[in-house]
A and B are shown apart, each in its own frame.
Chain A
Amino acid sequence: MSKTNRALISAGGLLGFLLAWELTLRAGLLPGALVPLPSIIPSVLIEEIRDGIWQAMVISSFQHYGIGLLLGSSLGIVVGVAAALMPFFNALHAWLARLLRPIPPLAWIPFAIIWFGITPTAAAFIISIGVFWINYFASYSAVEAIDPGYNELADAFGQGGLLPRLFKVTLPAAAPGILGGLRAGLGQGWMTVVAAELFGITGIGQRMMEASSLLATDVVVVYMLTIAALYAVIDAVFVLIQRRILRWQP
């Protein structure tokens, strides 16, 4: 199947789904109060944008996301790399990591509220937790998997010291794995944004909850699609950066 054909079929599938949705509602097979007509979504989106709500919500969510992502990713990478390089540190926190790892980010919401109140910091904190673990494990495995021959090479050419080795061998060699973790974290963090805002912190999640309490399902769908579209953009931009960094790969 050629690429164009595949894209055409995929687009057809999507259009068919929207059409079926629209027709089922118009035929009265689904209750209109529970599901909005897809055809009215664009006008609702335009309205949200005209009122400035959409921009405010997106910017606000991006702030939580950005801070949580930055915090979770950087800490995850630093701790993961350190754990792979330092056996003592690895052993020291191994059980602690095993204990904390299975706790989902959303289970931290009570503490987030107690510690930070209903604030953007609380949302960023919750987002950072999921992102942290993904980056931690990805970085750890990436450094663990480095060919020991590279370390010998560093020793043989006077680059075996902690810092030269870290920056000239360890990090570049682990870069594909670390970037893979960053990308997964990008997705995981974005999924958490909405949940982290559901308890009243301004952003997409809060707007969705507000709309749902008024049964404004069309507004809910606008923000669901916003989440999907923004993630597609974020991911595409990241893939471009990733390709640029890893341009040395065959």
Chain B
Amino acid sequence: MAAVNETRQPVLTARDVAVGFDGTPVLNQVDLALRPQGLIAIVGASGVGKSTLLRALAGLLTPLSGQVQRPGATRRDTRGWSMVFQAPRLLPWRRVRANVEFGLEGLGLSRRERALRAERYLDLVGLNEYADRWPHSLSGGQQQRVGLARAMAVEPDVLFMDEPFSALDAITRRRLQQSLVALRRQTTAAIVFVTHDIEEAALLSDRIVVLGHAPDEPTASVRATVDVPLALSDRRSDPAFRPLVQEVEEMIRTAPQGLQAADPSPSRASG
């Protein structure tokens, strides 16, 4: 599949992108190309600028320099991109169904079409029976699945995911990782996935982008890009899985920690 995708136009490209705060870069020289249906995982120590980069790629933040090319929506009833956040960020005053419909409003769909679309994606994350519940009555994992359904319901070309499972307990996280693997077969979206969990990155992605600091460099940059040539199903039992995780862990560990500024990303950007 990867070989086929390489021949198609990327859905998202970043050229020499720098991001930071108040004109000071935290991360620079980022080049990326995301193929249709690909999944790039961005990993790195906290404070390295992962979430900030994700927001610049999505267009929620303007990069300090460089260029990001995102697709516009390919169809009238879809969006070019959408996002899953670290916290579910469900609107507490909307029932679950209406939360999933949030991004669909403004796409010119009829009420009926919106309801059907919400139903389809709630079904996909296994929460259709919760459609009429208020968000507060759902568990953290269920809320995050609603957030995922909301992001997928707009049928984006690119889905940005900002440490979406990091706030969940280990069992729920494992379950949601498995659902994401399954969901990838049912969506045409390419995914950019930010995580600090290397194993998660190796489990889900086709390509891992490692962010870190070069020796004596105060600004982080892309330290390595690692392709993950494993079949998506049951990666954990693949003999190549563990060595790959260790390889990436090693890359992050060897980044000189002393030069990293105290976490410069404000809670607004990382939350």
A contact set with B: CB distance below 8 Å? 148-150, 152-153, 155-159, 164, 168-169, 172-173, 175, 248-250
Min CB distance, A88 to chain B, in Å? 21
One digit per residue, 1 when the CB lies within 8 angstroms of any chain A CB and 0 when it does not, for chain B 64-98 equals 00000000000000010011010101011111000
Residue of B nearest to A153 (CB): B89
Contact of A158 among B85, B91, B93, B103 (CB under 8 A): B103
Residue of B nearest to A159 (CB): B106
Residues of A within 8 A of B87 (CB): 149
Min CB distance, A115 to chain B, in Å? 41
B136 touches A159 (CB 8 A): no
B93 touches A156 (CB 8 A): no
Q: Please report the C-alpha to C-alpha distance between residue A157 and residue B147 in the assembled complex, in whole angstroms.
A: 12
A157 touches B136 (CB 8 A): no
- Contacts A155-B60, A168-B102 known; A248 to B136 CB distance under 8 Å? yes
Residues of A within 8 A of B105 (CB): 159, 164, 168
Contact of A157 among B135, B154, B271 (CB under 8 A): B154
Listed A/B pairs (9) with beta-carbon separation below 8 Å: A150-B91, A156-B160, A157-B79, A157-B83, A157-B103, A157-B154, A158-B79, A164-B105, A248-B95
Residues of B within 8 A of A168 (CB): 91, 102, 105
Q: Please report the C-alpha to C-alpha distance between residue A173 and residue B91 in the assembled complex, in whole angstroms.
A: 8
Contact of A248 among B93, B107, B160, B271 (CB under 8 A): B93
B58 touches A156 (CB 8 A): yes
Residues of B within 8 A of A152 (CB): 60, 85, 268
Count of inter-chain pairs, beta carbons less than 8 A = 61
Q: Which of B116-165 contact A (CB under 8 A)?
A: 134-137, 150, 154, 160
Q: Please report the C-alpha to C-alpha distance between residue A157 and residue B153 in the assembled complex, in whole angstroms.
A: 11
Contact of B82 among A157, A169, A172, A173 (CB under 8 A): A157
Q: Please report the C-alpha to C-alpha distance between residue A249 and residue B92 in the assembled complex, in whole angstroms.
A: 7
Q: Please report the C-alpha to C-alpha distance between residue A120 and residue B225 in the assembled complex, in whole angstroms.
A: 76
Residue of B nearest to A171 (CB): B93
Q: Please report the C-alpha to C-alpha distance between residue A152 and residue B84 in the assembled complex, in whole angstroms.
A: 11
- Contacts A149-B271, A153-B89 known; A159 to B102 CB distance under 8 Å? yes
- Contacts A148-B268, A169-B91, A248-B92 known; A156 to B82 CB distance under 8 Å? yes
Residues of B within 8 A of A250 (CB): 134, 136-137
Scoring B58, B103, B107 by chain A CB atoms within 10 A of each residue's CB, the highest score goes to B103
Min CB distance, A117 to chain B, in Å? 45
A149 touches B268 (CB 8 A): yes
Q: Please report the C-alpha to C-alpha distance between residue A195 and residue B178 in the assembled complex, in whole angstroms.
A: 68
- Contacts A155-B60, A249-B92 known; A149 to B85 CB distance under 8 Å? yes
Q: Please report the C-alpha to C-alpha distance between residue A152 and residue B91 in the assembled complex, in whole angstroms.
A: 12
Residue of B nearest to A172 (CB): B93
Min CB distance, B149 to chain A, in Å? 13
Residues of A within 8 A of B85 (CB): 149, 152-153
Min CB distance, A71 to chain B, in Å? 27
Closest 4 A/B residue pairs (Cβ):
A157-B103, A250-B136, A156-B83, A172-B93
B93 touches A175 (CB 8 A): yes
Residues of A within 8 A of B134 (CB): 248, 250
Residues of B within 8 A of A164 (CB): 105-106
Q: Please report the C-alpha to C-alpha distance between residue A156 and residue B151 in the assembled complex, in whole angstroms.
A: 9
B89 touches A149 (CB 8 A): yes
Residues of A within 8 A of B136 (CB): 248-250
B150 touches A150 (CB 8 A): no
